[in-house]
Amino acid sequence: MIDELSFPTGPIRSVAKDRTVFEDACITCGDVAVALEVVSVEGGDALCRADDGGTEVVAIELVAPVDPGDRVLVHAKVAIEKLP
């Protein structure tokens, strides 16, 4: 259930499985994107680290080229934006 949708630049409200409302969440899955730091790059994938130390391998084709130390916005294990 979507309470309000103003696409593409306005506020997005969506309801997750537990019926919690998240601002700026994905309207498809209710999840949010997370900023991660690139640790290493191999082909179309990068090993990235979160601020809490957790790591994840993410696809980088949409934002390539990236280098270790770059920060990327990741959603569903896909880097969707290179951050300044």
pTM for the model stands at 0.68
What residues in the chain have per-residue pLDDT under 50?
A: 1-19, 21-22
Q: What is the DSSP letter of 27?
A: T
Are 28 and 39 members of one domain?
A: no
Q: Maximum Cα–Cα distance for the chain, whole Å?
A: 41
Query: Would you give the end-to-end CA distance of the chain in angstroms?
Result: 34
Residue 23: its pLDDT value, please?
Answer: 58
77 lies in the same domain as 39:
yes
What's the rounded Cα separation, in Å, for the pair 81 and 84? 10
Q: Which domain holds residue 16?
A: 1-32
Same domain, 18 and 49: no
User: In the prediction, which pLDDT does 3 show?
Assistant: 43
Q: Are residues 19 and 58 in the same domain?
A: no
